[in-house]
Each structure stands twice: as structure tokens, then as C-alpha cells.
Amino acid sequence: MTEQLTPSDPVRIGGHRLLARLGAGGMGVVYLGRAETGELAAVKVIRPEYAAETDFRARFRREAAAARRVRSPWVVPVTGADPEAEAPWLATAFVPGPALAEAVARCGPLPERGTRILGKILARALAAVHAAGLVHRDVKPGNVLLAVDGPRLIDFGIARSPEETALTSPDAVVGTPGFLAPEQAQGREVGPAADVFALGCVLAYAATGRPPFGTGAVDALLYRTVHDDPDLAEVPDGVRDVVLRCLAKDPAARPTAAELDEALVEDAPEGTAEWLPDEVVRLIADRSAATLALPDIDATAATAPEPGRAAGRRRFLALGAGGAVLLAAGGGAALWAGLRDDGSPGPAARRWILGVQADLSGPQQAAGRAQERGVRLAVEQFNARERRPFEVEAVVADDRGDPAEAERAARRLAADRDVLAVVGSTGDKTTGAALGPYDERRVPQLTVSSAQGVYGTASRRSLLQTVPTYGTTSLPAALMLKAAGVRRLGMVIDRAAGEFAWEEGHLAYRTVGLVEIEVHPRVVPRSAASPVAVLADLLDWEPDAVYYAGGPRRGADLARGLADRGFTGVRILGYPAAGPEFTARAGAAADGWEVYAPYIDPGAKPVAKFAAAFRERYGRAPGRWAAEAYDVTRMVLDRLTEAAGGGGRPARAELFELLAKGTYRGLVREYAFQDGYLQGVEMFHYRAADGRFGYAGPADTGE
């Protein structure tokens, strides 16, 4: 929870406008601050009297250096620091959620599955800490924050390399009694195994609401930690063995963080909070809303605005994946319309550029090329108008389907101040990699074919998904299964295909259950040679239908396996697997498989004129996703035209707002958004026959 600033608190620290207090202790104060970019940060400021102590300043300097060395989405990153300032400070990304300690105290222990997922994600966080050559040394419920897109490990105040000399006296205990290892309790040298022990204590606490060595006086806690067995009687069976291994007295007997990640076999739904109880999710949401509902800070700023910039400029703050977007810091619409991304004047001497980021030479190059050509066709048609208000240039970046190259391409496009928006990228991983650079520069990013619901811990302040997410494919599938009289569905979720398969399969499982069809899910581990391994168990259950969420090659193996066993029931294939690779590998076993996809067939009547123009321009029929890219580009051009009529060239953030709040009827579907997600679930039905997927018309989505 936040507290108001006191009269003695500073107004700014290190470029951060301070908004509230997050907490205070004997050594310093932690503030909620806003950087000049508009991002919120937790700013830890050391009191001047302690900063004068050489040892204390050295410890703080080490904390900043240690935190910067860790690279993990589950460790709160450092965004700035100045250990040499008169009042040393350290800023980290702000997580507007409660600590695990508060969540358990207010809402009760986590369920078994939630505890496993918490452990798995925190094990990954510790693996990153240890890979950086550090030991955290204070893993406890108070240093685990729960956010809308997953937990975060915080506070490297006492982290150090194992070989470094402690800054405290030899017999001092560093850490939190009740959540530290025996060797730590005895003041001996500690390594990564001490963090694993502490994580075991955290998981026991999360599962029961009590530390495994009880509570009470510090001396008693330390004695029990060193000599007694932990009390794990109330820890669920599915967690107890793993926790017991973590709490081994001998450090060598404990698993490493990476081994703990492997031992906790629960699939961690990264980027969501669905694994937490409803009460905790509500607490996170309430805390986020309360924290981000901040006053207009520009109106109270003590310093004058920079030349060329108005004090009322808006800032956009996102709560996380799928969260509501809040507008903090006001300003009239007319003022906002007059602002520019870089404070420069209007459009007279500047180009109007639409960026295109796509996989043009990598694993998804067919879709990437189709999208690029769809964008170019729309731009060329716009520029051919006699009374066009401006001329648009398409600038293309090939990210080759590689996340590292995608991030570099995004930074290049975003750095060009004339790029007003970007269509792309083609795949999920490249879209996620590009998200940060576009967010930083407020470049509207419109993905045509990336249907992932969340992108790790990345924010969505500038992203518009113009395609239904993977889970929505299950709605027409569920309606079809119900109409076909299916009562028992075998669900195969193949983890080897990546995040989309889990997302698609998990949501399909829930959706199909809503139409009163019994579902028998089978998750195929990444390490399994083939999904055929689960068929014996699946068919023993005698399903009427089978749904496969995974990739084309292994999906084809499953199709052949079902055919070999004489299965003739309804078969549904997740659309990412539907293509030539599946039909070629499956052969005759591919016939009859049903697919529900968000892309329209190029021969469908609604896109006939587009297909003819495409064929005339490029000498071939359009491929998948070309019509959708054409639609999205025309939507952007429509909004740019609207902005030009009302005052000239728009700022990027203004264009994003026009896109996000408007509705546009394209050739393929209607485009309207909520929190960056496409509203509506228009889908298309395909059926495999004679070695190809034939178009069967628009899917029934119940609308």
C-alpha cells in the first residue's frame, strides 16, 4: 500500500518525480516514482547519515551492481541507480501487486497447483540469479511480489558472489530467520543451495500459511532450522517431496534451482494469474488499480516544463497482460492533438511512414511475404488516390523469424521518428521480442498473425492484436462438437510446439466443458518422442472426438496413429498445425480433420476484389494472412486520414488512441479493441481432403 509524501520528502530523485511512499525502514525510504518516460518505478533512497558510512555505501554499491547482472523476466529489473549520490538511490521496475506474505495472510494458503507453479517460476528466477554468479541470500515471502502476469523476486540488498567477504561481523546472521538455510543460520559460507533451502521454506509457507520451522524468538528459530526436522504435515502430497528435498540439512543434497524447475512438472502458464485463487487475483487487481489511480503529477510539478512541451501531456500506464489501461496526467484533447513525439512542428517537411516488420526469410516466410505484399498493395492503392491528404511510404524490416533480430529491427523502426505505426511481426516470439522497443517509443504495433494471449512479462501499451487469440478457435469447435452429438472429447496438448499449444489447448479444454462435453486431457511433455505415446491411454477412455493442439509434424504422427488404430470419430486440428507439412506427412490419414482458423480463404467471396488486385499486382494468388494485412493497413490509413482532417500529422500515441477506441469494418472482419485485444471471434472453417485443406465457409461462433 502507498502512503502520502511527507513535507520532508524530496520532490525528485534521479530524474524520477516522487508520487508516494511505498515503505520506510531504519536505513532508508522506498518511494513510488515516475521516470521521465512515464514509467513507474520503486525508488529506494538511503538516508544521508548511513550513506556517510563507507561500509554501508559499499554494500549499496554492490546491491546495484548485483541486481544489474541478473537477466530474468521473474526478477524485478533495475532501471537506474546512483550509489555515489549524496543520498544513494536505486530504482527498479514497479510491480503493483501484493507480496506473497500479504496475499497468504489475507487470502489463505495457495492450492497445490498454485504452489507448484509458484515454485517453478521462482526456481527459474533463482536459476538466473545463480547464473549471474550471485546468491540472493534473502528469499522470503516478503521478497516475492505477485503481479497480474506472474510472481517477481525482489531485493538484492544482501546478495553477493559466494567468494565475496561479508560486510557484517563473522558471527552475524544475514537473512530472515525462518527462511534461511542451516549454514546461513550458523554464519557459515553460503552458496546457491542456501537460496534453494529458502525457496523450500517459501513454498511450505505458501501451501500452509506457516513457516516450516515455526515462529517465535530468533534464537529458537535458528536452533530449529539447524537441528530439527521441518513441519510439513499440512503441505500437499504433490509438493511435499520437492519441499523436503529443498530443506535437506546438507547443501549438497539439495537440488539446484534448474533441477527444481524440472522436478516441478506443472506447466507454468507464464504471463497470467489464472493459477492463483480468485481472492488473490482480486487483491492483485485492487492493489494495481489503487496504486495506479494517481493524481495529475504535472499540475503539481515544482519545475517548469521543457521548452516545446506542454505540462499536461498524457502518459499511458498498463496494468499488464489483458489489464485495463489508465490515463494518468490530464490535458485537453486540443492540446494533445497538437503535441508531437519529439516536440517538433507539423507534417510539412516530414514523411508519413508505415513500418512493416515480418519474417521474410525464416521459418514463417510464406506468411511474412503474404503480409508484406498485402501492406504494400494497400499503401499503393492509397497513394494512387487523386485527393489523398498525404502520401504514405512503406518501410520493411525482415526479422528472419529470429527474436534477437526482431528486437533489433524494432529498435531501428522505432528510432525513425517518421514511422507512425508498424504492422507485424509474423510470429509469437518475434512479436514479443519487438514489444519493448515499440512500447518505449509509443509506436502502435499491429500484429496480424501473432495470436498469443500474453507475451511473457512485456507490457501491451502500444500493441493491438488484430487477430483472435489462440483460445478463441475453440468456440466454433465446441459448437460443432455439440451439434455433432459428441459427449466425450480426448484433448491432446503437445508441449513440444511451444506456448501457443498450451494456450490453445488449455482454453479449448475450458470452452468445450462449458457446452457439457466431458473432456479427457493428455499433455505430451516436450521430451516425448511423439504424441502417439498418449494414444493408448486416450483411446482406452473411448472418446467420440479428438482435439490436437500442437505442431504440424507431430500432429501428422498423431493422425497416422489414430488411423492405424481405426479411430473414425471427429478430429479437430489447431490451426497453427494446418498446412502442407501436416497433409504431406499424414497422407491419407489427414482426410477428415477439421480446422477453425482466423484467416480467410483467398478465394472467399468477401475478398474476391482484393484477390484479383493482388493477382494483377504480383502475378499470383494471395497467400494466408495477405487479406488480413491488407485490412489492417487500410484501417491504419483510415485513422491517419481522420487525424489529418482534424489537425494534420498525429503523434504516435494519438494514432494508437484512435485505433484502439475506434471500430473499422474490413473485408475479413470488424476490428474493434478492448485493452489491445480484438473483440469478436470471426473464424473460418476448413476440412482436409485429397491432400489439402479446403475452405468450408465462415465458422459458426454463435453470434
Describe the strand order of the beta sheet including 692-698 as a list of residue ranges.
518-524, 488-494, 545-549, 570-574, 594-597, 684-689, 692-698
Query: What is the phi-psi region of residue 178: left when phi exceeds 0, alpha when psi lies from -120 to 50, beta otherwise?
Result: left
The answer to whether 444 touches 652, Cβ cutoff 8 Å, is yes
The yes-or-no answer on residue 250 being catalytic is no
Number of Cβ atoms within 10 Å of the Cβ of 80: 17
Residue 149 CB contacts under 8 Å (≥ 6 apart), including other chains: 270, 271, 272, 273, 320, 321, 454, 456, 457
Catalytic residue among 138, 155, 195, 439: 138
Round to whole Å and give the CA distance between 674 and 688.
34
**Residue 689, Cα to own-chain centre: how many angstroms?**
37
The type of residue at 242 is: V
Rg (CA), the chain: 28
Specify the pairing of strand 488-494 against strand 545-549: parallel
Round to whole Å and give the CA distance between 191 and 161.
8
Residue 622 CB contacts under 8 Å (≥ 6 apart), including other chains: 370, 373, 374, 602, 607, 610, 611, 614, 615
Three-state DSSP class for residue 423: strand
Helix ranges (H only) for 147-249 are 182-185, 192-208, 218-227, 237-246
Round to whole Å and give the CA distance between 153 and 318.
20
User: Rounded to the nearest 5°, which phi and psi values hold at 401?
Assistant: 75, 15
Q: What angle do CA 312, 316, 319 make, to 5 degrees?
A: 145
All 3 cell numbers of residue 90?
536505486
Burial per residue of 1-40, b for 16 or more beta-carbon CB atoms within 10 angstroms, e otherwise: ebeebeeeeeeebbebbbbbbbeeeebbbbbbbbbeebbb
Q: Return the residue matching grid coordinates 511435499.
A: 240
- Enzyme catalytic residues: 138
